[in-house]
Amino acid sequence: MSILEKYGKPDVFAYNAVISGFCKADRIESAKNVLDRMKRKGFLPDVVTHNIMIGTFCSKGKIDMALKVFEELLKDNNWKWDEGEKWMSEIFSRGCEPNVVTYSILISSLCRDGKIEESVNMVKAMKEKGLTPDAYCYDPLIAAFCREGKLDVAIEFLDCMISDGFLPDIVNYNTIMAALCKNGNGDHAVEIFGKLDEVGCPPNVSSYNTMLSALWSSGDRYRALGMISQMLSKGIDPDVITYNSLISCLCRDGMVDEAIGLLADMLSGRFRPNIVSYKIVLLGLCKAHRVDDAIEVLAAMIENGCQPNETTYTLLIEGIGFSGLRAQAMEVATSLYNMKAISEDSFKRLSKTFPLLDAYKGLIYSDAEN
C-alpha cells in the first residue's frame, strides 16, 4: 500500500483491491490495517469495502466483527437496504444476537430507505426477543410516519415510547408539531406545545419557530407575536429561521416595510440576514409593485456581504414581471444579462415567460456569435 501511495494517488477502488487481496490471502489483520489507513487518508469505505470485510469475517467465523462492520454499513447514507439484507440474515443465522443498538441502527436505515413497515416489524422482533426499544429506535419511526402524513400512527409510537419508559425529547415533539401544522392541524400542534413544560420537555427555538409560522398562517398574529415575547422572556434567542419565518409572514400579509425593518434588526444583532431573508423581502416588494425599493434592497444585500446568486436575480425578475410590471422586468433582465449576472439560458427562459423580452432575443444571439 505504501508503494501505491508513494508513486500514485490510490483511490477507493485501489484500497478495495488491496483489502480484497489480503482477505483472499487470509491476512485479516493486514486487511483491517489497510481499512484503517484508508479512513485516515480521508477515503470513506463504500458498499464494496464493507461487503468484502463482512463476507470475510463471516467466512472466518468472526461474527462479532462482521456485525460491527455491518453496523457501520447501515450508517452509510449512500447504502440501500436491499444491498445488505443478505448480510443481516447471514450474520444472525450464525448465532449472533443483535442488541438494542444494532436494532436501532437497522430501524434508522430502513426508515431512511422508506421501508416503514419493515421498521415496525423490527420493533416487534425486538420485543419478541425481550428487548425494549429505546428512544433511538423510536425517533426514526416517528419522523418517518410524520413524513408520510400518518400522524395518528406517529403519535401512537410516541405513546409507546412513553409506556416503554423513555421520555420523548424535544426533537420528537418538534417533528410531530411541524407535521401537524403542515397538514392543517395547527390547533393540535398548539395544544401539544402548551404541554411541553408540563411533560418536562421545555420548547426550544425550533419549537417556537414552528408555532410562530403556524399561528400567523392561521390569522392569529397576536399570539404569533406573543411567541417572540415568550421566547425572549425564557432566554431563548431567535435564530435566522425565526426571523425568516416572521419576515415571510409579514410579506405575505403585505407588511413589507415591517419586514425590511426586521432585516435592519438582524444586521445590528447576532444573526445576520442570509440569502433566504433577502429573497423573501425582494419577492414581497415585487408583489407590491415597488420595483425601485426591490433594487435598493438588492444593492444593500450586496453591500452587506450577502452575494446574490442567479436564482436570486431570476426571482427578482420574475417577481417584477408577474406583478404586472413587464417593462421593468425587461429592463432589469437586460441589465443583469449584460453584467453577466444571469446566464444565456436563464435569459432565454425569461424571454419566453415575458413576451416583452422577445425584442431582446436578437441581442443574446448576436452576442453569442461574436
227: exposed, middle or buried (Cβ count in 10 Å: 0-12, 13-18, 19+): buried
Tell me the pLDDT of the chain averaged across its residues. Answer: 81
The Cα–Cα gap between 234 and 284 comes to 32
The C-alpha cell that represents 72 in the structure block = 457501520
| Stretch 194-213: mean pLDDT | 90
Give the rounded percent of residues in the chain with a pLDDT score beyond 70: 83
Q: How does pLDDT run across 55-109, given as a tens digit for each residue?
A: 777 676 676 676 677 767 666 655 566 655 666 666 666 666 777 877 887 788 7
Q: How does pLDDT run across 223-279, given as a tens digit for each residue?
A: 888 888 888 899 998 899 999 998 998 998 889 999 999 998 888 877 889 999 999
- pLDDT given at position 106: 79
Whether 292 shows a pLDDT value over 70: the answer reads yes
- For residue 115, the SS3 value is coil
The C-alpha cell that represents 121 in the structure block = 416489524
Higher pLDDT, 35 or 88: 35
What does pTM read for this prediction? 0.66
End-to-end CA distance of the chain: 53
Asked if 177 and 167 touch (Cβ cutoff 8 Å), the reply is: no
Q: How does pLDDT run across 99-145, given as a tens digit for each residue?
A: 787 788 778 878 887 888 888 988 888 888 888 888 888 888 999 99
| Stretch 329-339: mean pLDDT | 84
Q: How does pLDDT run across 159-200, given as a tens digit for each residue?
A: 888 888 888 889 899 999 999 888 888 888 888 998 998 888
Check residue 341 and report its DSSP letter. S
On whether the 1-76 domain is CATH 3.40.50.40, my answer is no
The Cα–Cα gap between 291 and 295 comes to 6
- pLDDT given at position 91: 64
